[in-house]
Structure 1
Amino acid sequence: MPEALDRQLIAVKPITVPTTGHGIERSLDLQVKVTAPAQGQDLPVIVFSHGNAWSMDGYEPLVDRWAAAGFVVVQPTHLDSRRNRIGFDDPRFSTIWRVRIADLHAVLDHLGDVLDQVPGLTPRVDAGRVAAVGHSWGGQSTGALLGARVLDADGTPGEDFTHPAVKAGALIATTGTGDTLTPFALEHLPFMRPGYSTMTTPALIVTGGKDQSAMSTRGPDWFTDAFHLSPTPKRMLTITDGEHTLGGVAGEAVRETSDEDPARVALVADAVAAYLLDALSGDTTAWRDLQEQAAASSGAFSIDSK
């Protein structure tokens, strides 16, 4: 999984997506990259939200593997991308979490127009099979589309950002509940308080057993909250020695990666693809294979379901 890593891919960027009518004034154009297999029909879609400071040009080890597995992947560049130079002291920063979610809504609402920008792609896409995936901050943004809500200091859930087009999702190394945030996170990232009790959309949660966040006083179990605190159906992949980038999901030899391991990255990519093929299409073959690999992995990774 995927069957042919040498499958020819196509990629088109940048594609500008309209953002008017989504309740957020965006100071810069929203641009996306589309990656897809050059051949194939009835292709499902993944809308992918990057982690803090990244862009549509990152996460190639995941995106290319998903496209090789038969998915069309759409990657927006959010405002927090380092190329935009919006730091904590910028007045726009406090609302970027909302702009990120609005970005994803805009992509989904204009998905047909986006795909039309790639010659010959639209007739090959199954627009009824759409998933949302995100890493780190992108996981929290994606979780909002699945039904998670940001809680205020009293624990009251905020606005519902669920999107009806999203049939399943995957949250990779994603924020836990906000009751153990560090002083830095409380000051700069007060929105990092996801409430998962309303996240009803089916999802896979991917966590690292050595993912120690500087934003929480808890250990790696903080990243399991999306699984334990959300309604069924959910699945969780835990990679025992994985840290926050799980081997380097954002790219090869990037500065954020402290546990570089291409095989670990391939495991994350293949697990997400296997899960989504099951959730979107009812094709359980790859997921069953993954379960067998987990059983034979001598504890290198494990799978939980509820």
Structure 2
Amino acid sequence: MSDSITANAHGTTDGPGTVVSAKPVLLPAPGRGEDLQVRVCAPATGGDLPVLVFSHGFGWSMNGYAPLADYWAANGFVVVQPTHLDSRTLGIPHEDPRTPRIWRIRVEDLARALDGLDVLEAVVPGLTGRVDRGRIAVAGHSWGAQTASTLLGARVLDSDGVPGEDMSDPRVTAGVLLALTGLGDDLTAFAAEHLPFMRPSFDHMTAPALIVAGDRDQSALSTRGPDWFTDPYTHSPGPKSLLTLYGAEHSLGGISGYEVAETTDESPARVALIQRLSSAFLRGALYSGDTGWKAAAAALEEDPNPLGKLQSK
């Protein structure tokens, strides 16, 4: 089905824009066991639109993260949201033989969505011919951030600590990584035993990325505190930026939705800051002449009551 949404400013801040979306779009996925379900949303007007593929957190689906997806689309991005196999909407049991491979299938889902851009473009009313295939970024939250980081060059260490397969995608040139988990040296015993893919190496994550962490995000999977979520910034090469949000827990104020059980730290202001900074960062990374990121960073630094702090390298 398709639907239209009146959302926030289209382009910048010059009035409300209309977002057109289509869901579910089915992309054939031989060997996956399920066709890939995708939601696509885009501005109703404008051309040369960059693409942003978003990977949801554990259990979510293409229907989540409206505060981000609708904002990004209203600000000029074609937002592509695949539903991964761990989604509660699919009801796949833990004992399913695909479970140990879902982390890899997630990465394949993002690549498959990019492979299917012709189909996705054609199914959204009026979108054909308006997509800029040369400007593609990824974003994700929590497990989705790990999935997205892999396309940016992050790898998974094997049992001997050797970086595994390079699954980066040359089509992807920038990313936004929200609540991305840190190094595997500090996993709890449960996580180390059951989640072996949570042993990342960020040494090869060379693409520009904005990493967002909450200073009250205490993971049940790590023996460390909230600083664990700053590892992707600390241990990756530049260019990178780190936004540390004051008082934010894993939902970062409600990016998956304001009134959902996972949102333990509801803050529309915090979400609005993520909306603005993530959009500005991506435009700055994708368009060499864009100055919006510098302006947004300066505004945060000059704010007398900032919601967070920004570092860059």
Same fold (TM over 0.5): yes
State the TM bucket, normalised to the shorter chain. over 0.9
Q: Mean alpha-carbon deviation: is it higher for 278-287 or for 252-261?
A: 278-287
TM-score, structure 1 normalization:
0.95
Structure-2 separation of matches of 1:145 and 1:135: 14
Equivalent AA in structure 2 for residue 55 of structure 1: S
Out of 162, 166, 172, which is 2:178 matched to?
172
Aligned-residue offset at 1:74: 0.4
Aligned to 1:213: 219
Aligned to 1:191: 197
Do the aligned residues in 2 keep the contact of 1:86 with 1:92 (CA within 8 Å)? Answer: no
Do the aligned residues in 1 keep the contact of 2:270 with 2:307 (CA within 8 Å)? Answer: no
Aligned-residue offset at 1:5: 6.2
The answer on 1:161 being equivalent to 2:171 is no
Aligned to 1:116: 122
C-alpha offsets along residues 263-291 of structure 1, whole Å, 9 cap, x if unaligned? 11111121111001000012443212321
The answer on 1:302 being equivalent to 2:312 is no
Aligned-residue offset at 1:120: 2.2
Aligned to 1:86: 92
Do the aligned residues in 2 keep the contact of 1:145 with 1:161 (CA within 8 Å)? Answer: yes
Aligned to 1:6: 16
Q: Would the alpha carbon gap of residues 51 and 16 (structure 1) be closer, same or farther in structure 2, given more than 3 Å must change?
A: same
Equivalences for residues 1-306 of structure 1 within 5 A: 2-4=12-14, 6-20=16-30, 25-297=31-303, 298-306=305-313
Structure-2 separation of matches of 1:125 and 1:54: 26
Structure-2 separation of matches of 1:282 and 1:253: 37
Structure-1 separation of matches of 2:251 and 2:54: 15
Q: Would the alpha carbon gap of residues 42 and 214 (structure 1) be closer, same or farther in structure 2, given more than 3 Å must change?
A: same
Structure-1 separation of matches of 2:261 and 2:223: 23
Equivalent AA in structure 2 for residue 303 of structure 1: L
Structure-1 separation of matches of 2:68 and 2:289: 20
Equivalent AA in structure 1 for residue 308 of structure 2: F
Structure-2 separation of matches of 1:85 and 1:117: 27
Work out the percentage of aligned pairs sharing the same amino acid: 55
Do the aligned residues in 2 keep the contact of 1:10 with 1:37 (CA within 8 Å)? Answer: yes
Q: Per the alignment, in what secondary structure is the counterpart of residue 9 of structure 1?
A: strand
Q: Per the alignment, in what secondary structure is the counterpart of residue 97 of structure 1?
A: helix
Q: Mean alpha-carbon deviation: is it higher for 193-202 or for 82-91?
A: 82-91
Q: Per the alignment, in what secondary structure is the counterpart of residue 23 of structure 2?
A: strand
Aligned to 2:6: none
The gaps in structure 2 that reach 5 residues or longer are 1-8
Aligned-residue offset at 1:89: 3.3
Q: Per the alignment, in what secondary structure is the counterpart of residue 50 of structure 2?
A: strand
C-alpha offsets along residues 8-66 of structure 1, whole Å, 9 cap, x if unaligned? 1101011111324xxxx211110100011111111111000000000000000001110
Structure-1 separation of matches of 2:170 and 2:90: 30
State the aligned residue count: 302
Ranked by relative contact order (alpha carbons within 8 Å, sequence separation 6 or more), the top structure is 1
Aligned-residue offset at 1:117: 1.5
C-alpha offsets along residues 217-253 of structure 1, whole Å, 9 cap, x if unaligned? 1111111111111111111111111111101100121
Structure-2 separation of matches of 1:216 and 1:84: 28
Structure-2 separation of matches of 1:112 and 1:267: 33
